[in-house]
Amino acid sequence: MELRHLRYFVAVASELNFSRAAEKSLVAQPALSTQIADLEREIGTLLLFRNKRIVRLTAAGAVFLKEAEAILEAADAAKVKALRASRGEVGELSIGFFAAPTMLFLPDLIRRFRAQYPDVTIRMFEMTPDKQLAAIEAGEISIALTRPLPPGHPDLITKTLFRERLFAVLPETHPLASRRRVRLTDLASERFVLLDRPVASTLYDHIIAACSSAGFSPLIASSPDLMATVLTLVAAEQGISIVPEGVQNLRSRQVAFLPVSPAIDPIPLIACWRINHACPPRDAFLQLVEDRLEAIQREFVVQLPKLAAAKKNARS
């Protein structure tokens, strides 16, 4: 028994006329009659009483009609659900992120995605880069907004969203805090507070390499595992740090952010996902990111300095 048998039967049962049912079903009447006869033979009883003058349902036919209609309705619903799932309109999207660089653009992206795909369940997890990497490889999140990956992850694909400049961050009480910018060599004798390397190895190594190029190896006084803690320790005069510019979103009081001269190579923020893992909602979100990429970059490059300047003016 196939769905076409059920569709032909429902057509005849609705019209109670083989000619009209054949026309409605876009099939020749003899072929339709053969299909109905095959269906009755498979079931083992007559579903339709017919002669040259009338066609009517038998008692078995009336029962079978209700079941056939329910089956066809369920099949149509399954088709719609499958198509919606293939387009990313249903399912679950789980996003790993860390706050500092994503605060300016991620809320807007989520609002736009929800408006376009209201039936997708969105789960968001604030994670450090090391935890994002573990979660994306374990299939616990669909996409990670993180730093460049360390070597050895051929199963992951990445896309750069934008690049962040690196700033020195000092206590407001520091003698250098009133400068417009600071030379990296001016920090050679300072105690450094850096995010712990296992938490964000790419950022840590990037900063150490920049200091090495400037001719010194930084004295690491503390290595907390949260960027907010880095800023708190700097504000408490426990050391200075070098951080991506998006970190200015996390704190504006008791610290000063200064451009570094010569400038340290910017560090990217990337989107990361698994290559061979089908996830239509993720693909739909990535398409939204692609469509909004210029706006995301403009928001970060243009708006972040304005916000930082406004905070600095309010503080002074």
pLDDT tens figures, 179-190: 999 999 999 999
Helix, strand, coil percent content, the chain, rounded in steps of 5: 50, 20, 30
pLDDT interval class at 265 (50, 70, 90): very high
CB within 8 Å of 45: residues ≥ 6 apart: 58, 60
Q: Which pLDDT belongs to residue 303?
A: 63
More confident residue, 297 or 208: 208
Instruction: Please count the CA atoms within 13 angstroms of the CA of 106 that sit on its side-chain side.
Output: 22
Answer yes or no: is pLDDT of 309 > 80: no
pLDDT tens profile 267-289: 999 999 999 888 899 999 999 99
Is the distance from CB of 169 to CB of 256 less than 8 angstroms? yes
91-162+275-315 is classed CATH 3.30.360.10: no
Considering only CA atoms, which of 268, 30, 243, 80 is closest in space to residue 159?
Answer: 268
Which CATH fold topology does 3-86 show?
Answer: Arc Repressor Mutant, subunit A (1.10.10)
CA–CA separation, 240 and 194 (whole Å)? 8
pLDDT winner (highest mean) among 38-42, 51-55, 152-156: 152-156
More confident residue, 243 or 33: 243
CA–CA separation, 66 and 294 (whole Å)? 55
pLDDT tens profile 13-51: 888 888 888 888 888 988 888 988 888 888 888 888 888
Angle subtended by helix axes 29-43 and 18-25, to nearest 10: 100
Amino acid, single-letter form, for residue 66: K
Q: Which pLDDT belongs to residue 104?
A: 86
3-state secondary structure 43-64: HCCCCEEECCCCEEECHHHHHH
Q: What is the average pLDDT across 186-198? A: 95
CA–CA separation, 185 and 297 (whole Å)? 31
Q: Considering the chain, tell me which residue range(s) the CATH 1.10.10.10 domain(s) occupy.
A: 3-86
Range name among 64-78, 127-141, 243-257 with the lowest pLDDT average: 64-78
Considering only CA atoms, which of 229, 220, 204, 221 is closest in space to residue 100?
Answer: 229
Answer yes or no: is pLDDT of 205 > 80: yes
Q: Considering the chain, tell me which residue range(s) the CATH 3.40.190.10 domain(s) occupy.
A: 91-162+275-315, 166-265
CA distances from 10 to 1, 57, 136, 173, 271 (A): 14, 11, 49, 84, 51
Q: Which pLDDT belongs to residue 314?
A: 53
Residue with tokens 């050679």: 188
Which CATH class name applies to 166-265? alpha beta
Task: Indicate the average pLDDT of the chain.
Answer: 89
Q: Which pLDDT belongs to residue 194?
A: 96
pLDDT tens profile 65-121: 898 888 888 888 778 777 777 766 768 999 999 988 898 899 999 999 999 999 899
Q: Which pLDDT belongs to residue 130?
A: 92
Q: What is the average pLDDT across 239-248? A: 94
Q: Which pLDDT belongs to residue 300?
A: 74
Surface-to-core class of residue 286, CB atoms within 10 Å of its CB (0-12 exposed, 13-18 middle, 19+ buried):
middle
Beta strands in 100-231 (DSSP E): 120-126, 143-146, 156-164, 166-171, 182-183, 191-193, 219-222
Alpha-carbon dihedral sign for residues 169, 173, 174, 177: positive
Question: Which stretch of DSSP H or E encloses residue 282?
Answer: helix 280-291
Task: Report residue 289 as tokens.
Answer: 């990111």
